[in-house]
Structure 1
Amino acid sequence: MSAASSSAFDKNYSGFLFDMDGTIINSIAAAERVWGDWARSKGLDVAAFMPTMHGKRGVDTIGLLNLPGVDPAAESQLIMEAEIADVEGVVPLPGAVDFLASLPPDRWAIVTSSPYRLAQARLAAAGIPVPRFIVTAEDVKNGKPDPQCYILGAERLGLRPSDCLVFEDVMAGIKAGETAGSDIMVITATHSHPIETGHSTLQNYENVRAHIDGDGLISVVRKAG
């Protein structure tokens, strides 16, 4: 059953799968500085382009533009290096550090469209340790919205996607989680406009905690008060 028809707050899960950017950390300022510079260098309409680059692998974002004479793999590599060098203002979402630290290390993973080195840099800047399990851009042939990443994330936990709750913030990731067969919790902290979704939503992690029951199943519980 999808979270669109059953609230994720009312269910227990064997594992949690977290997108990174916009879901456990806020890296928008840094990402938009680098991508904005790149878009201007290619003569793109920056304001129109920027909403399209969140939540997907850089190589996929560039490839979809079909720019003449532009090699998506080479360009995305240059952008990644620039993003690794610029982590100013990268911070954890409110409550995220404590929420993640309260989870059993073998029961959650990060599933990000970022390359591994960029994920390392941004997590370090936000004060979040690299978890035991992580799926990055290099681990999949097809990036979000393809479900491969979340299927792989569940496999690394030894679980089925349907046993996991996916935490996401953008449509490409939400679609990937849905297609994988997971319930979705939409994190809204970095949204400048409301996202239309039938899934459960959470602004950030300040007013929730993880509860682990006697069978080891995990749930998201609202804090009293």
Structure 2
Amino acid sequence: MPANHSYRAFLFDMDGTLLNSIAAAERIWTRWAMRHGVDVATFLPTIHGVRAIDTIARQHLPGVDAQAESEQITREEIEDVEGVVQVPGALAFLKSLPPTQWAIVTSAPMALALRRMEAAGIPRPGVMVTAEDVSDGKPNPACYRLAAERLQVTPQECLVFEDADAGIKAGEAAGADVRVVTATHMHPVDTHHPLIKDYRGLAVEVNEAGLMRIL
């Protein structure tokens, strides 16, 4: 990605990108895994960046209703937002953007997304794409394409901010440029996309045509 590249819109994943909800999510998913006899250590790394229903369905557990289980997970996650905080600098960075030129694209259901955003102090944008808006979650690119459409831009005019492999692949497949936020990563990430630790020190220049460029 050229350093001086400009964009019509920024599309942000939520968990791990704008806010850190790992502690709460892993508490709840650990209990779920233990109830169903799933190995916690190998299971937890797979939960990030994808819809709960897809996470559960991938386990192929006999007699388990993925829809019902995901709804229960969502209820528990809405109740437990202890430790949910913004990624450093995220709020200030979002406030510096034109309000009609950014969106949140999350694998979380709307009710959970709003609860976590409230806990972390992240404002609600005019456009949000959540788990209910697509039939196939990340890494399927439909979510990012839908966000671009709602912002009345093309995916190629967008910069996607992501932290998880599924979301990175979704952004790529949509045709957008991608920046990877590493604030919640425990290990180095292997990617050809530009990396940012968090949003501190990040600034945006908006030209007369309304194009945004990261400084």
Identify whether the pair has TM-score above 0.5, normalized to the shorter chain: yes
1:35-184, aligned counterparts within 5 Å?
35-184=29-178
Q: What is the alpha-carbon distance in structure 2 between the residues aligned to residue 45 and residue 10 of structure 1?
A: 46
Q: Pick from 173, 182, 186 the counterpart of residue 188 of structure 1.
A: 182
Deviations 1:109-156 (A, max 9, x none): 000000000000000000112111100000001000000000001001
Q: TM-score, normalised by structure 2?
A: 0.99
| AA partner of residue 64 (structure 1) | R
| AA partner of residue 134 (structure 1) | M
SS in 2 for 1:173: helix
SS in 2 for 1:208: coil
| Structure 1 equivalent of residue 16 of structure 2 | 22
SS in 1 for 2:100: helix
| Structure 2 equivalent of residue 214 of structure 1 | 208
> Unpaired runs of 5+ in structure 1?
1-5
| AA partner of residue 202 (structure 1) | I
Q: Which runs of 4+ in 1 moved over 2 A?
A: none
Instruction: Give the percent of matched residue pairs that are identical in Structure 1 and Structure 2.
Output: 56
SS in 1 for 2:111: helix
| AA partner of residue 142 (structure 1) | D
> Unpaired runs of 5+ in structure 2?
none
How far has the Cα of 1:207 moved from its partner? 1.6
| AA partner of residue 176 (structure 2) | S
- What is the aligned residue count? 215
SS in 1 for 2:81: coil
SS in 2 for 1:141: coil
SS in 1 for 2:160: strand
Q: TM-score, normalised by structure 1?
A: 0.94
| Structure 2 equivalent of residue 3 of structure 1 | none
How far has the Cα of 1:30 moved from its partner? 0.5
